[in-house]
């Protein structure tokens, strides 16, 4: 068990959750991040419980996602967490088999009637929907209660960190920090509107990411998505993408037509062929990676964080 502080790099949803798991297990922890938690790219997420990464040869995302679902469901009982359990519809334009995660969500049932026009199959279920600005605030405050404050600083290289154990939760930053060319930044945009009376979520799981359509109610507001384009270094909302999101969502839910826009959020998904949760030893120091969660970083957060804890104490 490490006695010197473990340095966690990153204070997005991955770094904060990981640091909480380590600190609440009684381990000494420091968190170093370029950005304050509420300004990390994690802020842009919608955020649905949604696994894109379930491949038939790798069961880990399903396990991580299941653990996270149960934890987010538990946290939905806390007002300040920003998480609420919501029922809704995920719909597909072509017939697809039942998902492998059907047993994880609540009240899952297939529905082929009562779908919006143009859809072939839908799945109705209940899941945790997370308001990220509130949730990042909750995680940062829970971490402070465990005695850990986020230190704002940029890490130039893993070798420059003075610690025997480093946990790398740098998201898309891992591309240059590790370095790992397998990490690709895929930018996404979200439009937040005043809630015209929507209680249920809608999610279209399109094979073409750039045409994702979803909306997630968060009380007074609704988060509408989405988009996916290669990150070019500019985090300003694109008016054309905004117009496309508003039009696609209004076509599914007419109440959204003309809804007042209150905010736009742009983030970058750290996409990688597989999530990297892995321990290695470099020059006698332990480096544990936890990055590359793509469009599922919230969905996998608690499962991956607990795996890091088990790798630390192993």
Could you list the residues that contact ligand FAD (CB under 6 A)? 9-15, 32-35, 40-42, 44-48, 50, 154-155, 169-173, 177, 188-190, 225-226, 267-270, 291, 293-299
Of the pair 112, 294, the CB lying nearest ligand FAD is at 294
Q: For residues 3 and 231, what is the distance between their CA atoms, to the nearest angstrom?
A: 39
Q: How far is the CB of 9 from ligand FAD (least distance, A)?
A: 5
Q: For residues 188 and 260, what is the distance between their CA atoms, to the nearest angstrom?
A: 20
Of the pair 41, 104, the CB lying nearest ligand FAD is at 41
Of the pair 27, 266, the CB lying nearest ligand FAD is at 266
Give the tokens for residue 129: 């929907």
Q: How far is the CB of 299 from ligand FAD (least distance, A)?
A: 4
CA angle 25, 29, 30 (to 5 degrees): 155
Of the pair 29, 298, the CB lying nearest ligand FAD is at 298
Q: How far is the CB of 162 from ligand FAD (least distance, A)?
A: 14
Of the pair 133, 270, the CB lying nearest ligand FAD is at 270
Q: How far is the CB of 41 from ligand FAD (least distance, A)?
A: 4
CA angle 20, 26, 32 (to 5 degrees): 45
Q: How far is the CB of 169 from ligand FAD (least distance, A)?
A: 6
DSSP at 58 = B
Q: How far is the CB of 146 from ligand FAD (least distance, A)?
A: 18
Of the pair 3, 49, the CB lying nearest ligand FAD is at 49
Give the tokens for residue 178: 């590790």
Give the contacts of 160 (CB within 8 A, at least 6 positions apart). none
Token pair 């653990």 in the structure block, residue: 67
Of the pair 122, 225, the CB lying nearest ligand FAD is at 225
Facing residues of 99 across strands? none
Of the pair 226, 244, the CB lying nearest ligand FAD is at 226
| ω into 268 cis (within 30 of 0) | no
Cβ neighbours of 243 (radius 10 Å): 11
Query: Contact 123/111 with Cβ under 8 angstroms?
Result: yes
The SS3 call for residue 188 is strand
Q: How far is the CB of 1 from ligand FAD (least distance, A)?
A: 25
Q: For residues 49 and 90, what is the distance between their CA atoms, to the nearest angstrom?
A: 12
Scanning the chain, the segments in alpha helix (DSSP H) are 13-24, 60-75, 132-145, 174-177, 239-252, 297-313
Q: How far is the CB of 66 from ligand FAD (least distance, A)?
A: 14
Facing residues of 91 across strands? 122, 204
């Amino acid at each position: 068990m490490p006695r010197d502080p473990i340095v966690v790099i990153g204070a997005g949803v991955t770094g904060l959750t990981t640091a909480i798991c380590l600190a609440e297990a009684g381990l000494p922890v420091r968190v170093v991040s370029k950005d304050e938690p509420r300004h990390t790219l994690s802020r842009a997420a919608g955020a649905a419980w949604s696994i894109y990464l379930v491949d038939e040869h790798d069961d880990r995302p399903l396990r991580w996602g299941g653990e996270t679902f149960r934890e987010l469901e538990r946290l939905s009982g806390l007002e300040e967490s920003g998480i609420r359990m919501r029922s809704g519809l995920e719909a597909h334009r072509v017939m697809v088999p039942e998902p492998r995660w059907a047993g994880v969500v609540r009240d899952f049932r297939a529905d082929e009637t009562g779908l919006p026009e143009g859809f072939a199959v839908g799945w109705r279920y209940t899941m945790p929907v997370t308001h990220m600005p509130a949730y990042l605030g909750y995680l940062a405050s829970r971490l402070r209660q465990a005695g850990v404050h986020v230190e704002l600083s940029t890490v130039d290289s893993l070798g420059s960190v003075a610690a025997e154990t480093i946990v790398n939760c740098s998201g898309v930053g891992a591309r240059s920090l590790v370095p790992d060319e397998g990490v690709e930044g895929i930018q996404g945009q979200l439009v937040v509107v005043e809630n015209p009376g929507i209680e249920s979520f809608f999610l279209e799981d399109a094979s073409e990411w750039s045409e994702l359509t979803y909306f997630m109610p968060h009380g007074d507001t609704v988060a509408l998505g989405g988009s996916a384009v290669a990150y070019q270094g500019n985090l300003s909302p694109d008016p054309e993408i905004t117009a496309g999101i508003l039009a696609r969502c209004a076509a599914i839910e007419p109440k959204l037509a003309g809804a007042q826009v209150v905010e736009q959020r742009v983030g970058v998904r750290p996409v990688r062929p597989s999530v990297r949760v892995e321990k290695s030893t470099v020059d006698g120091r332990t480096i544990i990676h936890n990055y590359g969660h793509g469009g599922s970083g919230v969905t996998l957060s608690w499962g991956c964080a607990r795996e890091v804890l088990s790798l630390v104490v192993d």
